[in-house]
Each structure stands twice: as structure tokens, then as C-alpha cells.
Amino acid sequence: MKKPIYLFALSFLLAALMGCQKSDVEILGIVSTDEVENYFGTTVEVSYSDNTKMYFHLLSDTTAEVVSYNRFYTVQEEQSPWIYRGDVVIPNRFVHNGKTYKVTCIGEGAFKASVQNHELVSLVSSVEMPNTIDTIRNWAFSECVHLTSIDIPNSVKYIGDAAFAGSGLTSVVIPGSVNGFGNSVFSSTCLTSVEIPESMEKIPCGMFSMCFSLTSVTLHDHVTTICDDAFYDSGLTSFEIPASVNYLGVNPLDDCSSLTTLICRPTTPPEKDPHGQHYEDYFMLGNSIERILVPAQSVDLYKESYFWRLYKDIIVGM
């Protein structure tokens, strides 16, 4: 006996529902969407059946960014501010007033720790981002001390200033899709090692500064510039400047107290970054460096270089 066609359709639908999460195309579990008072544009409060909420600022007729309650909602003094908690799953889209909005951005300070009773409070332990996200704005996950790891989707093209600064990150994989970074993106995190993707040509200012647990970093031959304070006061025990590097900022390795030997591969001595934030006409590579290894045929070039003059007595060939 053949089953009626509607039974096949029903079983297919049930299977689909069981496999869906908030990040799926059809967002299940949404019980309401409401526009809330905000300082600019339109912000939508999305409420889920598990009593969680998420806030979105509408960027266009079809796109939206995740935002924080504190930034976009007018909070009365007697109200307790809503902050994101626990394991956060960001949907790839939601429907509001009959229109579908794709979530393309993590807004400025969206999950940043909130100030409560004059103390920073962050209750986010993990974040799942959909592959519709192309931008992570400034301070998006700043001071999220319980956030120890995160998967950055291959769709992300830009990560803003201090996006993860002060978070609890111990590991991160930077996807090759990212072609732009702000400053101090991973500053003051708990990262232990980092591999820079081949798509990254510049290490921005302060990107890994004060990462005290960071003992090693792998740079590829696509890197051309290491900017001011890039690894300032980190835990590096070894460091190699790739042959592709043309420019160095001021203090890129300063106060790395465990770094005593620097390997510098370029045959032509790198010059000072002309776009650096500091006006000094020299490098302050690191006050703990005892020896700088350079290509044997370039020893004299380094010692005679105006920008390397502070280190001529410790430059040796390799």
C-alpha cells in the first residue's frame, strides 16, 4: 500500500525541523520581533522561545548587523541592562514585518563587556557566527574574558580595531578571506601561538601587543610591513622577519623580555614604516635582543643603514 504523498511531505518537514538551528535559513524559535527605541536608524529586538534575545540594527532593506542592547536601546536608570549570556548563536537571517534580513555584520561593541556597578561584566562563553558575516566591527568582542576560542567564518573580510582585545582567546584561526584589519585586534588576549594567513601583507599597529602568553608566531613571505608596537610586550621567545618585509614600525618587539635573538631574512635592510604613528627616525626593535642574524652578504648593509644604527654592534651574518 502506497503512503499518501502528504505523509512523505510531513516526514521531510519534521526531519528538517529537527536539524535546524538559529543559524539556519529559516530561523526557528523566534516568538516575536519588535522595533525598539534607539539613537539612530531602526533596531529590532528578536525574542526566542528559550527566553533569549538578540538585537539587530537594520543596515538596508535586506541586511542587518548584530548590536548590543546598551548601545542602541534607551535604558532607563531603574532598568537592568540586557547583556548576552552563555553560548550565543548568531542567526544568518531573520524576518521582521514580512521582510527577510541577512545578518552580515557584528556591530561595534556588540558583545563587549558591559559596565555594571562600575565593573566590566561579560557573560558570553562562546559565539557561533554564520557564514553570512563579512565584517566584525571595532570592539565587537572586547573584554569577553570567558570567550576562549572562536571560529571566524571564511566569509569575513574585515576585522576592526580591538575587535577581540582583552578577551580570553587562547587560540584563533584567521581565515584567508580577511583582507583588512584595524589596530590592536588581538591585544591583551591569552593567545599562545598564531599563524598569519598568506593573505595578510601588513601586521597592524599593536595587533598582538601585551599578549603575554604568545610565545611563537608564524609569518609568511607575503608580509611586507610590521607596524608600530605590533608585538609589543608579548611573550615571544623567537621571531623571524620574513624576506618579504620592506618596512618596520617603531617598537614592534619592544619589551619582549624573553626574545634575545632576532632572525631578519631580508637581504635589503627594511626601512622605517613611512605611515607609522611615531615620528622617531629609528627602530626600537626590542630592549632584550642580544643578537640580530641577517643574511651573510648583507651584514655591512645593515650596519651602515641609518635606521639600523642602534644595533650595528649585535648584527651578525648567518
Which CA distances in Å does 130 have to 120, 181, 302? Answer: 27, 20, 48
Residue 65 counted as domain residue: yes
In 3D space, the residue among 231, 198, 228 whose CA is nearest the CA of residue 217 turns out to be 231
Question: What CATH number should be reported for the domain holding residue 96?
Answer: 3.80.10.10
- Distance CA(226)–CA(275), nearest Å, equals 11
- How confident is the model at residue 286, as a pLDDT? 77
Q: Is 230 helix (H, G, I), strand (E, B) or coil?
A: coil
- Cα separations in angstroms, 264 against 73, 119, 194, 292, 316: 51, 44, 19, 7, 10
In a domain, 13, yes or no: no
Would you state the pLDDT for residue 178?
94
Q: How many Cβ atoms sit within 10 Å of the Cβ of residue 214? A: 22
Length of the chain: 318
Question: What is the per-residue pLDDT for 280?
Answer: 66
Round to whole Å and give the CA distance between 256 and 236: 6
Q: How far apart are CA 95 and CA 61, in angstroms?
A: 12
Q: Distance (Å, rounded) from C-alpha 55 to C-alpha 101?
A: 13
In sequence order, what are the residues at sequence separation of 6 or more whose Cβ sits closer than 8 angstroms to the Cβ of residue 95?
27, 30, 33, 101
| 51 occurs within a structural domain | yes
Residue 148 has which C-alpha cell?
576562549
Mind spelling out the 3-state secondary structure of 61-106?
A: CCEEEEECHHHHCCCCCCCCCCCCEEEEECCCEEEECCEEEEEEEE
Measuring CA to CA, how many Å separate 105 from each of 22, 42, 49, 111, 275? 16, 15, 24, 12, 28
Per the structure, the complete domain to which residue 56 belongs is given by 22-191
Q: How confident is the model at residue 39, as a pLDDT?
A: 53
pLDDT tens, per residue, the chain with 318 residues: 444 433 334 343 333 333 334 444 344 466 667 676 655 678 888 888 877 889 999 999 999 999 987 654 444 444 455 678 889 999 999 988 889 999 999 999 999 886 665 566 778 899 999 999 999 999 999 999 999 999 999 999 999 999 999 999 999 989 999 989 999 999 999 999 888 888 899 999 999 999 999 998 989 899 999 999 999 999 999 899 999 999 999 889 989 999 999 999 999 999 988 877 666 666 778 778 999 999 999 999 999 998 898 899 999 999
Of 21, 14, 17, 33, whose CA–CA distance to 100 is shortest?
Answer: 33
Residues in contact with 307: Cβ distance below 8 Å, sequence separation at least 6, in sequence order = 248, 269, 270, 271, 272, 281, 282, 283
Residue 63 placed within a domain: yes
**Closest to 307 (Cα-Cα) out of 253, 264, 247, 255:** 247
Contact (CB, 8 A) for 207 and 178: no
Query: Quick check: is 233 in a domain?
Result: no
In a domain, 2, yes or no: no
**What separation, in Å, do the N-terminal and C-terminal C-alpha atoms of the chain show?**
82
Q: Could you tell me if residue 202 is inside a domain?
A: no
Domain count, the chain: 1
Among the listed residues 106, 77, 103, 107, the one whose alpha carbon sits nearest the alpha carbon of residue 91:
103
**Domain annotation covers residue 113:** yes
